[in-house]
Amino acid sequence: MHDRIFLSSPHMGGSELRYVEQAFADNYIAPVGPHIPAFEQEFEAVIGHGHCVAVASGTAALHLALRLAGVSPGDEVLCSDLTFIASASPIVYLGARPTFIDADPATWNLDLEVLEAHLSARRRAGGPMPRALVVVHLYGQPCDMDAVGAICAEYGVAVVEDAAESLGALHQGRQTGTFSTTAVFSFNGNKIITCGGGGMFVAKDKALADKARFLSTQARDAAPHYQHSELGYNYRMSNILAAVGRGQIEVLAARVEQKRALFAGYVERLGAQPWIEFMPEVPTGRANRWLTCALLGDDAASGYRMREAVRLALEEANIESRPIWKPMHMQPVFAQDAFAGPGADEAMFARGLCLPSDTKMTEADLDRVCELVVRAARG
């Protein structure tokens, strides 16, 4: 049996251990330590924008962003439908109601026409408008933030960028997560760089970042004793995780190029097959290709059978793949919530597969994966 090929596993660059050993030598094993502000500053330098707060997860960062956007119980919050549940869960944490916006098959990101139509209908109906939009840069594909920003400004809707999957991706030459008042990134174990966990809250304004930092440390007031005038969260990143993150930041550019090279390798080997459509790249941006994703089969029904045949064949060969995200409006936990759009992402889900995108894969690994995909697809 071959060694397992993972979908996207951690890939250390070399400096991570040195930073962690430094934390041990200095005895900064408790959560607070010097690697945290250093990581935040280095992240700010990489994205070229804003003020950063390192937190326990991307989900925590999004929870903070929505709270600081003024989301309250009963509010409507719009959210990309084709995404991971962490994009939507914090909406519910705050007692708000998600409305999921369908995906555009041309970009895989939220459908801008559906978004505008929904907001226009809300305005005509009167009553409160949605409080915020969580817009996801799906699988590292940059969303058209110029258009999103213009639409939401017209209707007075706050925008929070979920850039959890898109570190290293560019829209109009700028890093995703730098176009809205607040944005979030993730360093989960499968992301393009990882701390083994953790996330980053990013704000244009220092005052917002300071408030997020305050809330993330249990909202402790400035007093010699423990005093709290409002409720906060235990959301700060640990010094050890930040040490790992500092090493990972150093190899981000290399990881983006490796991910894009993997995608190009798949297209070279499989792109001529009539039964596969790779996730496109928008002309206004540069995707980081965090995961190489494709639609298999000719329609939803045949695609599902082909997708599952390929996925199971790969798993039998000790190779990890997985279906693309199941749309949020199809999730049982959100069955009672609203959905806007024709359901284009339902057909995409039926056909969609994430292929192994591990930056430690060799050319021989890629050849073997593609040979298995072709064999399974042909039955």
Q: What is the pLDDT of residue 89?
A: 98
Assess contact for 208 and 53: CB atoms under 8 A.
no
308 — pLDDT class (breaks 50, 70, 90): very high
155-167 pLDDT, tens digit each: 999 999 999 999 9
Q: What is the pLDDT of residue 186?
A: 98
Q: What is the pLDDT of residue 41?
A: 98
257-281 pLDDT, tens digit each: 999 999 999 999 999 999 999 999 9
321 — pLDDT class (breaks 50, 70, 90): very high
Q: What is the pLDDT of residue 29?
A: 87
Q: What is the pLDDT of residue 127?
A: 86
H or E element in which residue 218 lies:
none
- Whether pLDDT at 30 is above 80: no
Mean pLDDT calculated for residue range 74-78: 98
Contacts of 244 (CB under 8 A, 6+ apart): 16, 19, 20, 194, 195, 196
H or E element in which residue 121 lies:
helix 112-125
Average pLDDT, the chain: 97
Assess contact for 158 and 187: CB atoms under 8 A.
no
Mean pLDDT calculated for residue range 350-379: 97
178-218 pLDDT, tens digit each: 999 999 999 999 999 999 999 999 999 999 999 999 999 99
**Residue 28: what are its φ and ψ, rounded to 5°?**
-90, 65
Instruction: State the Cα–Cα distance between residues 92 and 73, nearest whole angstrom.
Output: 9
Lowest mean pLDDT, pick from 14-18, 29-33, 117-121, 185-189? 29-33
Domains of the chain: 16-249 (3.40.640.10), 252-377 (3.90.1150.10)
- Whether pLDDT at 1 is above 80: no
Assess contact for 322 and 357: CB atoms under 8 A.
no
How many CB atoms are closer than 10 A to CB 87?
28
226 — pLDDT class (breaks 50, 70, 90): very high
Mean pLDDT calculated for residue range 21-45: 93
High-pLDDT (> 90) share of the chain, %? 97
Q: How many residues appear in the chain?
A: 379
Contacts of 61 (CB under 8 A, 6+ apart): 53, 55, 184, 185, 186, 199, 200, 201
Q: From edge to edge, which strands make up the β-sheet containing 158-162? A: 51-55, 199-203, 182-186, 158-162, 132-136, 76-80, 97-101, 338-340
Residue among 117, 106, 176, 115 nearest 143 (CA) = 176
Model pTM score:
0.97
Q: What is the pLDDT of residue 254?
A: 98
Q: What is the pLDDT of residue 2?
A: 86
